[in-house]
Structure 1
């Protein structure tokens, strides 16, 4: 079968089109004819060599998948051949990614696509929506009426976080860097805060009367983690997808903050059946939200065929994409 593979680490141009063996069915799995995938930051971090230890054995990246089931393994009873499904299937170590004609995927990681989205639309959801759900629903356990600050609300994870928080009845705010991004987060129901114009103390005073936010979700990471701690109220909850920094955590003690860290590929990376089942259940909740029109994915205006994966990676790394970059599978019109 056709696939886009990496045989070396480096810039986006390291991708090659290759012929690799079609995966064989095994128990608990389904064989998907891949119709679409996406580009996530973890993809280019693996490709560049920053996360060398995670590279899939086949060299095939692509964490998100959407397509049609063409084979059912023993023990799978919630899908039938012909079902259109989507999920975050992973692309690490023994798990080959979605940038191929076919992918073998653990059935627990999948859900049937929403009836009101195409495969190319719903593929923009899995990794980012599961991440946002883990952070806000499972981790922070947000409640109706609470104030939630999302750092990076116009991004892939951030715009889903805003929508999930709104579904729970929270008052949502989001930091942004431009008027364009401010309009995006307003469209999803959040109050925008341009962090270039206001310090943390200024926007905490303006929007919370100096009390601080009940929940702060940091999708940015780095030095922004400390700003998240500063923005949270006493005994508030902070969640983050990127805590790979060295910092003084004394503020957590001073404010009695709780910190929840999200690394959503753990069930795939460590082959945790319980976690895989949870991912599938979260996707069903996301489907419900989509079908009720409470969740809408933000998708970049241009869809890239798999053969142009290098361009898609370069675009994501440039920071110039607005919305999720979606990829169209081999031979798909």
Structure 2
């Protein structure tokens, strides 16, 4: 039997189960392993993980690798769990349930225990199902950052590209709360869902006459702002649909820009990077993750925002691998949540 430390009635083992990426691979082959429970620095919390939310970025980097990772690497950036160890005087306290978006440059959260900086977490209200809380961090924070980048205010027209994805779903709801007129692209099967979230007009992104139909609905002025969750040629098309000096927030790599397009549109282009808060070693940006987490949790508790539909995933390498491949295949509109705690 492993030795345990008893602290506030929590028995903390020396080892734990974890799901790791042995090395980047196209099939996203993962492994179930036993590894040491992490040691914590003075400002870090040891958390017993309950739920982990899977994101497209998890699958993407599982295939390609990430420059800051050492292997085997524990995946998982969005998590909810209970604090089981913390230095005296450090908040949140032992026994508090917390939610966070993890440091992309360090080990992830798909393990029975993990460590996280205390200033980057948000305390989950007792009234909220922790599985729902696990749907919020990455997608919700990306939506909030995007809306701040494009400075949405009442009366603005905004196009949300890929509105049926998790980021798009949050962006629609928060854009409507700020008084914007919201235009959305989505596949036909998801039009009803995004309308229920508040979209004023929805277009099929597979429609060959998409731009023509948008201009017919919008008029000649162009969008005040765009949230572009797709990237590539879609970004170029969206800039063309914007008014002169319009604003666009891009969540994926930028394309090569045609200089004529830049000249006659003069767009204000912003890049959204949640992981950059950690990679830039910016304490203010990391604390902002906590503030945004508080806002998302408040919205979920008060039913001011609707979370994406949850698909449960078993805590096993095979199940997580299948889930990440499913997500990258496209067409998935909910959030896949791994239940870790037994």
Same fold (TM over 0.5): yes
**Residue aligning to 1:73:** 87
For each residue in 1:247-284, what CA deviation from the matched residue of structure 2 results, as whole angstroms up to 9, or x when unmatched?
31432331232111111101122332111011111111
Shift of 1:192: 1.1
Shift of 1:238: 0.9
**Residue aligning to 1:242:** 252
Shift of 1:146: 1.0
For each residue in 1:146-170, what CA deviation from the matched residue of structure 2 results, as whole angstroms up to 9, or x when unmatched?
1111000000211111111011111
Question: Is 2:52 aligned against 1:37?
Answer: yes
Runs of 5+ in structure 1 lacking a partner? none
**Residue aligning to 1:283:** 293
Please say if residues 2 and 330 of structure 1, whose CA atoms lie closer than 8 Å, have aligned partners that are also in contact: no
Off by >4 Å, runs of 4+ in structure 1: none
2:203 aligned residue (193, 216, 232): 193
Shift of 1:115: 4.6
**Residue aligning to 2:340:** 329
Tell me, what secondary structure is at the counterpart of 1:32? strand
Shift of 1:24: 1.3
* CA shift in 2, pair 1:13/1:219, >3 Å: closer
Shift of 1:239: 0.9
Q: How many residues align?
A: 324
TM-score, normalisation: structure 2:
0.89
User: Aligned equivalents of 2:43 and 2:110: distance in 1?
Assistant: 21
Cα-Cα RMSD: 1.8
> How does 1:176-325 map onto structure 2 within 5 Å?
176-178=186-188, 180-190=189-199, 191-197=201-207, 199-300=209-310, 302-307=311-316, 308-325=319-336
* CA shift in 2, pair 1:82/1:233, >3 Å: same
Runs of 5+ in structure 2 lacking a partner? 1-15
Tell me, what secondary structure is at the counterpart of 1:35? strand
* CA shift in 2, pair 1:264/1:223, >3 Å: same
Please say if residues 46 and 54 of structure 1, whose CA atoms lie closer than 8 Å, have aligned partners that are also in contact: no
Question: Is 2:74 aligned against 1:60?
Answer: yes
Shift of 1:40: 1.2
